[in-house]
Amino acid sequence: MQLAVDSQDAAEAQYHVARPPRHDWTLEQARSLYGAPFNDLLFAAHTVHRRNFDANRIQISRLLSIKTGGCVEDCGYCSQSAHHASGLKASKLMAVEKVLDEARKAKAEGATRYCMGAAWREPKARDMDQIVAMIEGVKALGMETCMTLGMLGDDDARRLSKAGLDYYNHNIDTSERYYNAVITTRTFQDRLDTLERVRAAGMKVCCGGILGMGEGANDRVDMLVTLANLAEHPESVPINLLIPIDGTPLAGAARLDTIEFVRTIATARIMMPRSFVRLSAGRTEMTDEMQALCFFAGANSIFAGDRLLTADNPDSDADAALFGRLGLSPMALDAPETEHDR
């Protein structure tokens, strides 16, 4: 597919950048976009990104595991699954004040969104009072809140929303076709149902996937089509690079080609122009040059801090050095309106 991107105006015409985001992508259109000449794809993605966001500001989020290990799901990439011999021991739900202490540290280091994750299939009624207290406490610090607790029923979704939860994370992980090769204990539709409940309860959606699990390029594109064709695009789209973990079924997965990862970021930016596209797990395996390409292609959010749930992450000094080299700055919580809002 040769894209008409000899100028910014041509790129905007090609992708209808000035119009409301699309929700009617066909697989053929998206696959052709993903497979376009690399320079053309990046030019188009950056055009879309610059039209909707400040291209030199990055949203900083922090992720904390508030309950680790012992999950009954069998997600093939996850060290926290009770099905896998990863050596990770299960822990109890963290005390509220400990969570708030960590949130205060994150805010002091520049994070504007605080994400809390529990290794559950779904939250239990006995834990909801603590969960609500965590949400209310982090909100009181002036930070955005996000949680990932597994599947949600209607009552739990409404209670989280009433507590003031801003975002709920529930990734679809991969394409519907490839899904059963990675997870068998819940269905692709189960995940979509939870996303619908989150929306119905009035919360924002954080939903993306994991690359490098043995899927093909078509699976990566099909995943993005599923997200882009939702009635509302996810406000946050985390794109994870698999971290192979000993003891999990995907421990021996081959490393994904860098260009393929960047193509996915660029395609996500074009298809969901107003969403935050986040570089999530796997940044320890990315060179500075790879991350720079991703930022140019439209990624504008990262997780900061040296731990992501149970995985390593670049420390704050490494991120500060990278931002300095690239001329990037953290995005304020009350960042100015983007052009599409004016």
Cα–Cα distance between 113 and 334 in angstroms, integer?
12
Is 205 within 8 Å of 232 (Cβ atoms)? yes
> DSSP H helical segments within the chain, as ranges?
8-15, 27-34, 38-52, 96-108, 128-140, 154-163, 176-179, 188-200, 217-228, 258-271, 288-297, 316-326
Question: Per this entry, what is the length of the chain?
Answer: 342
206 catalytic per annotation: yes
Q: Which of 146, 186, 197, 220 is catalytic?
A: 146
207 catalytic per annotation: no
Cα–Cα distance between 241 and 223 in angstroms, integer?
14
Classify the C-alpha dihedral 48-50-52-56 as positive or negative: positive
Place of tokens 């690399």: 38
Cα–Cα distance between 255 and 155 in angstroms, integer?
41
278 catalytic per annotation: yes
Q: Which of 113, 115, 159, 207 is catalytic?
A: 115
Give the count of beta carbons closer than 10 Å to the beta carbon of residue 318: 15
Q: Which of 31, 51, 62, 75 is catalytic?
A: 75
Q: Which of 51, 62, 71, 197 is catalytic?
A: 71
At position 292, the amino acid (one-letter code) is A
Q: Which of 51, 113, 206, 207 is catalytic?
A: 206
Q: Which residues contact 56 (CB under 8 A, 6 or more apart)?
A: 327, 328, 329
Helices 154-163 and 128-140: crossing angle in degrees, nearest 10, is 30
At position 294, the amino acid (one-letter code) is C
Token pair belonging to 170: 């529930």
Q: Which of 31, 51, 62, 78 is catalytic?
A: 78
Q: Which residue from 212, 249, 307 is spatially nearest to 81, judged by alpha carbons?
A: 249
Cα–Cα distance between 103 and 308 in angstroms, integer?
14
Q: Which of 31, 278, 283, 294 is catalytic?
A: 278
Is 292 within 8 Å of 58 (Cβ atoms)? no
Pairing state between β 204-206 and 167-169: parallel
Enzyme catalytic residues: 71, 75, 78, 115, 146, 206, 278
